[in-house]
Chain A
Amino acid sequence: MNEYCPGTESEQAGKTSSCQGCPNQKICSSGATKAPDPAIAEIGAKMSTVKHKILVLSGKGGVGKSTFSAHLAHALASDGTKEVAVLDVDICGPSIPRIMGLEGEQVHQSGSGWSPVYVDDNLAVMSIGFLLSSPDDAVIWRGPKKNGMIKQFLRDVDWGDLDYLIVDTPPGTSDEHLSLIQYLSATHVDGAVIITTPQEVSLQDVRKEIRFCQKVKMPIIGVVENMSGFVCPSCKNTSQIFPPTSGGAERMCADLHLPLLGKVPLDPRIARSCDEGKSFLHEVPDSPAAEVYLSIVHSIQDYCSNRVTEEQSTT
């Protein structure tokens, strides 16, 4: 692969000095690669049976995106009349299978596409984790190959009719995120939930993610501040393990006029539930963290219903 390839869809495709000698140069410079990808329309059609699409983003790693995505899905699916699915597009570090108790599961292909793996009758999951045969397998792919996988996930998974599709993403603002936005451009995405922790070191990455969302016109449903304080189970005093030295998510949301959906405290039982593949909402429903989570989920449900009401009133 050409190391300095400007990208087949770039304005410079086929025209830069690093394109000299590349076997695809003629194709790129003819403009053929800049024609819209037919997959976008196909994905648009596929997504027409999905009522609500929610992206879970951060910018910063390790803030609890996958934990949040999984538990948002569990909470929404607790209403047995709703069909819910999680799509994990973290190609290098797919955490969703473990967190949802599906490690070792494999996907099946049928005439209508790939079948997702089911946690419950109304809760389905797709992740590259299901395509790897061993927990030691590394996915050492460059951008274009990751993009191809994401396209397949969106186009070829047989979700059926869904009320909610939650898309869990890796940290950053790169190939995976650009591809997601690109491939979903022919369908309506309700919005993104942005996850952060209280420290400035997280917020500085999260502000970039928010800027990215604004650039690609992705609505932001709101911000969740995770790991927001720790109450010692022994003496009940609170410690700020990840101190909000610059005002935490609260200050950032005030500055950027974004809703703060909730502040979830640290609870060792969350990590344990995730490792065991169980929902901590089910395991420790009386935990303060569980209460905050449920209130966040309600806010998200309200946001999604209001969008439907708005659309109906304008048509």
Chain B
Amino acid sequence: MTQLVSPSEVAFLLQGVAHNLRSDGRSRTQLRPVVVETGLVSQANGSSRLRRGNTDVLVGVKLSVGVPDLAAPNTGRVEVAVECAPSASPLFEGRGAREVNAGLAAAAASYLAAPGALDLEALCIRPDTHCWVVHVDAVVLDSGGNVLDAVCAAARAALANTTLPRVSTVPSETPGEFDLEVSDDPDDVIALDVSRLPVSVTLARLGDFYVADPTLEEEACQTAAFTVGVTADGTLSGATLSGDGGIPPAMLIEMFQVARKLGMALVADMNDLGEQEAKLDRDVVGFLG
């Protein structure tokens, strides 16, 4: 998902970064503003759309009933899939796209499905036999850089918007098997608790400096990128280094501190946006408008 960039462009970008002035006017540790809407997809149990700069992600959450893992019979699970829509960029096509999608899905899952992020025991319907499987599907409609952070933030908003139907099991006619009973009342639902779900903050190393929330051009010049998951109370919930270069340990420790501050602010902002949206009494008109 890199775009071509000339050596002069790289030099221009790096010099700007050294002066704490990026091409879009941001400082090195400034994130792009986020626009998020939830509840757009009526057929999904939860959904959200998030725009950040030119990056546009739509997430739908669908629930299914599955069998718990043998190793964890009292829990449900979360499965994450990401698809970069081929319409979004000529780079998102064919074999390369499959690897990009798998990489993004694995990275997003390491934050969303991490131990302690969601209460997986609340997803258990009946130990050993029935559990909820939460399918988080992200579609990247447009890529303006830093797709991973947009996917994680959008998924967090969609999960906050997700409700589980109240379900109980009753013994069926065949002995040893169970049927599911769903409540008839569409408002008899349980909301997912996302208070410990992290957002991710990506910092890209450009020369001797690092910038938060890189754009496509900045990603093309980066030596390495460091993504950190941060929860509302500042706990660091997962981190990965990507890219073909390295980062000195001293810079890494600094990046942790910066990411933590930015992450906590982002979570607070997104919670605020969620509350504001809940107060709006609006008709959802137009999907991509």
Is A bound to B?
no
User: Which chain A residues have a beta carbon within 8 Å of chain B's beta carbons?
Assistant: none
What residues of chain B have their CB less than 8 Å away from a CB belonging to chain A?
A: none
